[in-house]
Structure formats: C-alpha cells, structure tokens
Amino acid sequence: MQNLPRQVDPSLIQTGDIITVIYPKDRGVSSSMSGTVARLRVDGRYTHFDTREGGTIFTWRVGDRSGIKVVLNYREAVPQMPMFGMDEIRERIR
C-alpha cells in the first residue's frame, strides 16, 4: 500500500496494521493513541482493535459519527502474484 500515512475508514484496518487514532478535542485537549493491531474482536456492532499485549487501541461501532480519525501508518506489503506467465501466453498463441 502506498501513500502512507493516510486517514482510512476503520472497517479497512487489518491485523498487522500500525495505526494512530486521533480523538476529537475535549476542552482544548488533543489526544491520540498508536499501536499495532494484533487482533480484531467483533462483539455485535462493535469492533475492538487490540494490541498483542492485550491493550485496546480503540473500539469502533458501525455508523459511528463521533469524529474519531484513524490514520494508517504502515501495512505489510502483499507480494504481487502474476495471473499467468509468458509461457502460458506463448502456448495460447500457438
């Protein structure tokens, strides 16, 4: 994935992603939490994004309008697999 860091929808977060959650200002105070997502726990309408150590980075509810921003900082690259090789193309042409 390119163009990181960038703001993403929480439903796109995967295990292994490094994220930062930015909470709306509360009486002039800004707060954020960062961590590596080791586990996604789904509990009804809520999804909990947990770290390997057992901490919860944040909890998200489908349709949440609380103003929380999720920034994807890093995602492991997925190797690109060719759908077919040149040998197969040559065989088809013959």
Sheet containing 39-43: give its strands across. 39-43, 46-50, 56-61
CA atoms within 13 A on the CB side of 2: 0
pLDDT in tens, 27-86: 999 999 999 999 999 999 999 999 999 999 999 998 888 889 999 999 988 777 766 667
pLDDT in tens, 18-29: 999 999 999 999
Q: Which of 75, 68, 50 is nearest to 10 (CA)?
A: 68
pLDDT value at 2 more than 70:
no
Other CB atoms within 10 Å distance of the CB of residue 69: 13
**Structural domains in the chain?**
6-93 (2.30.30)
pTM recorded for the entire structure: 0.77
